[in-house]
């Protein structure tokens, strides 16, 4: 958790920051294969040829090959950054995908306002939401100044840390001949129809990590003393089955047409049956 304040202009909103995501994978420990005990990672100094304690280490910056300068906690604390305990809002931008710099995200954090700043916090959230804006800001996290975007999210706001522009690779190395590709109107229309037919509302709840679930099932069986079953591979059906399915689909489409025609005939018959009565009524 991180504690600080959102700052823009003369406004200061005290907030707490919580990681919004967690690693979803299954964690393993490294064991010694012969005794199945957990191994330990020792910190080794090749100069003294001995294992040392982590508390005996310091951080060093390699300013030249093999030459280091030690950077202490005091040095880090003395860094004259405005953003040390602040989420310093630099500007507001339209929260659209055109702001491509905001697409290279590192991590997401939930914000929780301190009680004293709750009103200003939700005021900022509502203004961002109504105007479709995203706040671009700076924050120091993990000893590094980070670029971040602040957006309304559900009942709070979400801070996503971004890669600095010089951390984003250029596209020059890729072969992207978009200018040379000729797309016919009919091809584009077909693609648009396909996209339209598959367009829906994204709900992350509908997606699951199937691999993780399957791996957990294997682990649970081993814990219970069972031998994991090898993955079953169903024998594929062949191309004649596919043709048979196609034939069935054609037959179904033909039947649908017959039914639709029959319905039309029934409707026409009903209309004809009613029509004379209406005429009679009119002439009566």
Partner 1 sequence: MQPTDGVAPFDDPAYLFEAWWPGVRAQAWIEGGRLIRLRAEGMADALTAFGELADELPGRLVEDDVLLDGWLLALDEGGWLDTDLLRRRLAGDHHAGRPAFVASDLLWSAGNDWQRRPFGARRQRLEAVLLDGDRCVVSHALRGEGTLLAEALARFGLGAISARRLDARYRAGPAGDAWLRLPLVPEAITERPRLALIQRLPFPEGSG
Binding positions for partner 1, rule: CB under 8 A = 184, 186-187, 189-190, 193-194, 197-198, 233-243, 245-247, 249-250, 252-254, 256-257
Place of tokens 């905001």: 102
- 142 or 233, CB closer to partner 1? 233
Query: Minimum distance between the CB of residue 181 and partner 1, rounded to whole angstroms?
Result: 12
- Bridge partners for 136 per DSSP: 91, 149
Query: Minimum distance between the CB of residue 217 and partner 1, rounded to whole angstroms?
Result: 19
Query: Minimum distance between the CB of residue 247 and partner 1, rounded to whole angstroms?
Result: 6
Give the contacts of 65 (CB within 8 A, at least 6 positions apart): none
Give the contacts of 11 (CB within 8 A, at least 6 positions apart): 120, 124
Query: Minimum distance between the CB of residue 210 and partner 1, rounded to whole angstroms?
Result: 15
- 183 or 224, CB closer to partner 1? 183
- 173 or 182, CB closer to partner 1? 182
CB of 18 closer than 8 Å to CB of 110: yes
Query: Minimum distance between the CB of residue 257 and partner 1, rounded to whole angstroms?
Result: 7
d(CA 150, CA 136): 6
d(CA 201, CA 257): 32
- 45 or 194, CB closer to partner 1? 194
Sign of the four-CA dihedral 95, 96, 99, 102: positive
Question: What's the alpha-carbon Rg for the chain, to the nearest Å?
Answer: 33
- 220 or 247, CB closer to partner 1? 247
- 172 or 201, CB closer to partner 1? 201
Give, in order, the Cα–Cα distances in Å from 34 to each of 27, 72, 224: 21, 41, 22
Enter the tokens of residue 169. 């690779």
CB of 6 closer than 8 Å to CB of 121: yes
Query: Minimum distance between the CB of residue 199 and partner 1, rounded to whole angstroms?
Result: 11
- 233 or 280, CB closer to partner 1? 233
Enter the tokens of residue 13. 């909103």
Query: Minimum distance between the CB of residue 180 and partner 1, rounded to whole angstroms?
Result: 13
């Amino acid at each position: 958790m991180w504690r600080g304040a959102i700052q823009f202009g003369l406004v200061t909103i005290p907030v707490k920051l919580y990681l919004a995501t967690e690693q979803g994978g299954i964690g393993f420990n490294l064991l010694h294969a012969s005794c199945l005990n957990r191994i330990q990672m020792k910190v080794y100094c090749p100069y003294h040829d001995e294992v040392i304690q982590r508390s005996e280490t310091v951080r060093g910056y390699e300013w030249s090959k093999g030459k280091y300068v030690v950077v202490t906690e005091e040095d880090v604390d003395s860094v004259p950054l405005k953003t040390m305990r602040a989420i310093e809002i630099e500007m507001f931008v339209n929260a659209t995908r055109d702001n491509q710099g905001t697409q290279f995200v590192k991590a997401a954090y939930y914000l929780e306002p301190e009680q004293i700043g709750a009103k200003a916090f939700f005021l900022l959230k509502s203004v961002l939401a109504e105007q479709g804006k995203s706040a671009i800001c700076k924050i120091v996290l993990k000893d590094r100044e980070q670029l971040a975007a602040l957006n309304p999210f559900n009942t709070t706001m979400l801070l996503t840390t971004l890669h600095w522009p010089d951390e984003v690779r250029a596209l020059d190395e890729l072969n992207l001949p978009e200018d040379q590709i000729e797309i016919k109107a009919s091809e584009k229309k077909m693609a648009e129809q396909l996209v339209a037919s598959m367009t829906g509302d994204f709900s992350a709840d509908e997606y699951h990590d199937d691999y993780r679930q399957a791996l957990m099932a294997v682990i649970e069986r081993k814990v219970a003393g069972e031998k994991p079953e090898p993955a079953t591979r169903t024998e594929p059906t062949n191309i004649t089955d596919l043709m048979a399915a196609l034939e069935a689909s054609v037959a179904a489409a033909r039947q649908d047409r017959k039914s639709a025609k029959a319905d039309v005939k029934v409707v026409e018959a009903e209309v004809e049956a009613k029509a004379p009565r209406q005429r009679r009524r009119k002439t009566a």
